[in-house]
Each structure stands twice: as C-alpha cells, then as structure tokens.
C-alpha cells in the first residue's frame, strides 16, 4: 500500500486538478505544482490585462510542460474573460440563435478561437449546450442559443466546429442540461424534474450534436436529475456520468466539473469531499479557483484525493483512468494548437452578428415609432445583480455608445436598492431629465426581476412614448413606443442598439 506521501499518488492527484490563481504573472507555487504533475490551469479575468500579457503568461506556464492545458471560460456574450474590462466584441449565444444562421455562428466562434489561440489558450469551457426551456432560469438565460432543442443542437455543433478549426478545444456544458432550472447552482442545488424520456428529447440532443461535431470535452452540471439519480448531483453521479454519458451516449473524451467550489456541491460535501466524489463518480478533471484561487486549496484537494485512495473511498484505478484521460487530452489539444498557424488579425464579424440579432417590435394597435430618434435622449438603465458566471465589472448598456453617436445624451443607471429606498428617484433621475426629450429605458432580463418590471411599468405609465431596450431574455408583449431586443448585453449589442436609435452604422 502506498504511503500518505507517495509521490506517484500525489502526481496523479495533481494531474486531475484545474486550478485558477491570482495575478497576471505565474506565481512560484503554480510553477512548482506544474513541475509536480499539475495538468491544467484556468484563467479568469483577474489574470488578464492585454493580449500580449496573456500570451507571455501562458508561454511562461508552458515552460514547465509544453502540453499544459490552459483553460478559460470564454463564451463571449455576457460571459467573457478576455474582454471582461471592455465588454465582449462578439454577441453571445442567444443573439446567434435569434439570427439562426449556422455559418454566422461558426464564423463568430472561429473569431473567438483565433484570439484564444493567440493568447495560448488550449481549452475553452464553451459553448453552453443548455436548452433554456425555462425563461426564468437565473444562471443560463442569454448564454443559451434558445428554448428549442433543434436550434440549440445545430448551433452548438456549429460553434464547436468554428472554435476547434482555430486550434482551441471546445467543451460542451452543462451536462445533462441546465436549462430547465430555477436555482442558481453557485448558491444552491437545482433540480430537473422531467422524466428520463423528456430529458432525452429536450436536453440531451445538443450534447449528442456536440459529440458528432467532434467535441473532446464535456462539463458537468451541479444539479439533481431524479429521473437518473435521485440522490447525487450530476457532477458526482456514476449513473449520469458513466452509465448515461459514457455508456448510452458513448462519450470517451475529457469530463470536467463545473467550478467545484460552487454552493450546489460544497454546501453538502465540502470542497474536498465534492472533489473526491466527483472523481469517484466518473469525472476526469476538477475545475477550481474561481473563488478559491490559492495554493492551500490545491494542497487540500491533492491531499483529499490521495487520502481517499489510501482509505479505499476512491479506487486507485479510477484516479489512474482520470489522469490518463487528462494526459491524452493534453497531448491532443497541444498538438492541435501547435498545428494551427497564429492568425492575429481581427474581423468585424462580432458587430455584424450583433446588428443582425437586434429585433424591433411595436405594441399591437399603436402607430410604429419612427427611428432614428431626432435628438439626444435621456437613457435610464435598470441594472440587476448578475450571477457569478458573469463578471460584474464588465461594461454593458446602451447609454455610452449612444452618447458617442448622439452628443448630449444623458443617462442614469439604477439598481433595486436605490429604487427601494429612495421614493422620488424615478422623478429625479429618470423622468425630470427626460422632460422634452426622448426617453430610452434599458432593462436586462426584466421578466426575472419583479422590481424591474414594476419600475418599467411606472415609467411607461408616465411616459408611454418611451422606447424600451431589452438586453436579456425577452418575454411577453412589446413594451413602450418601440421595443428593441438585443438578445444579450455585450458591448457590441449595445453598439448595435445605439446605432438603430441614432441612425448610424452599416
């Protein structure tokens, strides 16, 4: 029996971890862990300043291991890491699904892949293959291509083809489908209540399409699907990961966890217990470090995995199998990345796609408003608290790009606490500055936020001529004198909406 300090076991344990870290240069502890067998690292917005800096960072990490897996969560759209400080230059999945042009989707994904490849990234935790069948979903929403299984399936496949042609491996998520949920897995444990037959018809086809498109990695979901396993979340479930995904669906690629420190699994099992159960259940790589990004966390998880092998909780052959899959994936992704020539030129495909995704609707029975606006408007942006998948610092909205196009535009951004605790805020900040001017009200997933729909109703009662821009998942009838739907809150989505309002752009 191996000892508790067995270097072979420790190396195996290191190889299945995918940690994040702090800083824009590689810390000494991370270099040391790579030398000790760490097979992957994950980049977050905190690690990114410029494309050149990221490329230098990844090159320094690969000095220890040329096939090191460098992962990132670059969905584009609302979930961006490379462009977290400026806003994404490409629209997200819902906008692409709204256009429903698979060639456009493939081109956008290829454009993302070029940037990632140039930055030294080899694995992208995207696309979301979730069918957003529940419009009140708090964590998927605009990250999904839409609410129809066939649409999500074909765009998932196109996105994967485009990304991987640029030399970056894709990862379809979140298996077996996070679309029909009402709980954010960062904080609680969602449940999918459909039968196995319903899930097979609605949620699984996009993952099958992903495999047919050549995807080599799948990310698990932190949710319970009682139709398959009434007890364990999918990330920890042998029935879902091995019997369903590997057995029935015949997937033999890399299986990665969603962030293992998320409340859905750590609240029940602790971060170390969840890690052990995930690997025992069939996962190959454990993603960690979105919030717990220090050496102590890696040490804790390595120790937990080694201890679990020694006490029989985790069969050693299962850890060996997981490590083998990580190594095989690292070799494949490394060779693929090196085989693709670097292409640093940028294209405008993101803005082209964002423009095509904007939909203008009018209330039935009313005279359609004439666009563009004739003067500089006042813009009121109602800002919700975003889930942890979306970087809270990423710019969004219509006011800034509209100000560039229409000098003199004024704006205010309001949050729920401000509206709850300040009785005259709507008059002072929204209505009074708009006197004699066009009023543009910008919302983001209004249907999911009662305070936002109530505020919008009050504004439209006072100003029925206001124009409404929805930058989240659209729901319900057209609102205001005109209702613009961008299908996402990316930087280019805001530009595209501003161009329509101001009469600029192509």
Nearest CA to 290 out of 12, 68, 13, 18 is that of 18
Residue 241 is part of which domain span?
20-339
Q: Is the peptide bond before 185 cis (omega within 30 degrees of 0)?
A: no
Nearest CA to 96 out of 77, 123, 82, 111 is that of 77
Last residue of a domain, one of 286, 307, 339: 339
Same domain, 110 and 216: yes
Q: What is the DSSP string of 427-444?
A: IIIIIGGGTTS-EEEEES
Is 316 a domain residue?
yes
Same domain, 334 and 453: no
Is 348 a domain residue?
no
Same domain, 62 and 163: yes
Same domain, 321 and 439: no
DSSP conformation class of 63: T
Active-site position among 258, 272, 400, 445: 258
From residue 180, alpha-carbon distances to 35, 183, 197, 425 in Å are 42, 10, 14, 36
Same domain, 132 and 276: yes
Q: Where are the beta strands (DSSP E) in 56-96?
A: 69-72
Nearest CA to 116 out of 330, 343, 326 is that of 343
Same domain, 439 and 324: no
Is 197 a domain residue?
yes
Residue 383: is it exposed, middle or buried by C-beta count within 10 angstroms (0-12/13-18/19+)? middle
Contacts of 315 (CB under 8 A, 6+ apart): 280, 309
Contacts of 191 (CB under 8 A, 6+ apart): 181, 183, 223, 224, 225, 226
Q: Give the largest CA-CA distance in the chain.
A: 81
Same domain, 308 and 374: no
Token pair of 262, please? Answer: 């998320």
Last residue of a domain, one of 282, 304, 339: 339
Same domain, 363 and 283: no
The Cα–Cα gap between 458 and 477 comes to 16
Query: How many domains does the chain divide into?
Result: 2
From residue 348, alpha-carbon distances to 108, 121, 142, 504 in Å are 9, 22, 21, 16
Helix, strand, coil percentages for the chain (3-state, nearest 5): 45, 10, 45
Is 456 a domain residue?
yes
CATH number (domain holding residue 310): 3.20.20.300
Active-site position among 178, 186, 378, 449: 186
186 is catalytic: yes
Same domain, 329 and 431: no
Same domain, 308 and 408: no
Render each residue's pLDDT in the chain as its tens digit; 506 residues: 344 568 899 999 999 999 999 999 999 999 999 999 999 999 999 999 999 999 999 999 999 999 999 999 999 999 999 999 999 999 999 999 999 999 999 999 999 999 999 999 999 999 999 999 998 888 899 999 999 999 999 999 999 999 999 999 999 999 999 998 888 888 888 899 999 999 999 999 999 999 999 999 999 999 999 999 999 999 999 999 999 999 999 999 999 999 999 999 999 999 999 999 999 999 999 999 888 889 999 999 999 999 999 999 999 999 999 999 999 999 998 888 888 765 545 678 999 999 999 999 887 766 677 889 999 999 999 999 887 777 778 899 999 999 999 999 999 999 998 887 666 888 888 899 999 999 999 999 999 999 999 999 999 999 999 999 999 999 888 888 889 999 999 999 999 999 999 998 65
The Cα–Cα gap between 103 and 323 comes to 36
Contacts of 243 (CB under 8 A, 6+ apart): none
Same domain, 205 and 147: yes
Same domain, 367 and 324: no
> CB of 257 within 8 A of CB of 280?
no
pTM of the predicted protein model: 0.93
The Cα–Cα gap between 381 and 123 comes to 35
Is 7 a domain residue?
no
Q: Is the peptide bond before 174 cis (omega within 30 degrees of 0)?
A: yes
Which run of H or of E encompasses 455?
A: helix 450-462
**What is the chain's length?**
506
């Amino acid at each position: 029996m191996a000892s508790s300090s067995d270097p072979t076991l420790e190396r195996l344990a290191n190889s299945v971890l995918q940690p994040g870290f702090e800083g824009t240069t590689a810390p000494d502890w991370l270099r040391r862990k790579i030398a000790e067998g760490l097979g992957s690292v994950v980049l977050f917005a905190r690690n990114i300043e410029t494309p050149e800096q990221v490329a230098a960072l990844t090159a320094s990490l690969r000095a220890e291991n040329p096939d090191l897996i460098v992962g990132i969560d670059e969905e584009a759209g609302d979930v961006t890491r490379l462009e977290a400080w400026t806003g994404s230059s490409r629209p997200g999945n819902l906008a692409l699904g709204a256009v429903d042009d698979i060639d456009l989707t493939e081109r956008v994904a290829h454009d993302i892949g070029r940037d990632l490849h140039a930055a030294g990234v080899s694995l992208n935790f995207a696309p979301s293959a979730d069918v957003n069948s529940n419009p009140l979903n708090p964590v998927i929403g605009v990250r999904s291509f839409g609410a129809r299984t066939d649409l999500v399936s074909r765009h998932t496949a196109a996105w994967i083809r485009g990304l991987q042609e640029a030399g970056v491996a894709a990862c379809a998520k979140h298996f077996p489908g996070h679309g029909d949920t009402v709980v954010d897995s960062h904080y609680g444990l969602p449940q999918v209540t459909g039968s196995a037959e319903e899930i097979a018809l609605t949620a699984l086809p996009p993952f099958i399409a992903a495999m047919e498109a050549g995807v080599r990695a799948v990310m698990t979901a932190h949710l319970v699907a009682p139709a398959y396993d009434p007890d364990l979340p999918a990330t920890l479930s042998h029935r879902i990961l091995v019997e369903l995904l590997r057995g029935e669906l015949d997937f033999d690629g890399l299986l990665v966890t969603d962030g293992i420190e998320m409340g859905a699994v750590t609240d029940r099992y602790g971060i170390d217990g969840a890690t052990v159960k995930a690997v025992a259940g069939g996962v190959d790589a454990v993603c960690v470090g979105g919030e717990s990004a220090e050496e102590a966390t890696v040490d804790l998880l390595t120790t937990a995995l080694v201890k679990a092998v020694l006490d029989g909780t985790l069969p050693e052959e299962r850890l060996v199998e997981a490590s083998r899959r990580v190594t095989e994936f690292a070799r494949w992704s490394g060779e693929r990345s090196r085989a693709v020539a670097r292409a640093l030129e940028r294209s405008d495909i993101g803005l082209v796609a964002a423009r095509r995704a904007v939909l203008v609707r009018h209330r039935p029975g009313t005279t359609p408003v004439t666009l563009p606006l004739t003067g500089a408007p006042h813009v009121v942006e109602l800002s919700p608290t975003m889930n942890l998948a979306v970087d809270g610092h990423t710019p969004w909205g219509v006011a800034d790009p509209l100000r560039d196009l229409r000098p003199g535009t004024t704006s205010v951004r309001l949050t729920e606490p401000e509206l709850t605790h300040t009785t005259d805020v709507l008059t002072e900040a929204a209505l009074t500055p708009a006197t004699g001017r066009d009023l543009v009200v910008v919302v983001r997933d209004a249907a999911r936020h009662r305070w936002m729909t109530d505020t919008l109703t009050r504004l439209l009662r006072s100003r029925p001529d206001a124009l409404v821009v929805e930058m989240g998942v659209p729901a319900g009838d057209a609102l205001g004198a005109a209702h613009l739907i961008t299908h996402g809150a990316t930087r280019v989505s805001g530009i595209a909406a501003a161009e329509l309002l101001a009469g600029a752009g192509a």
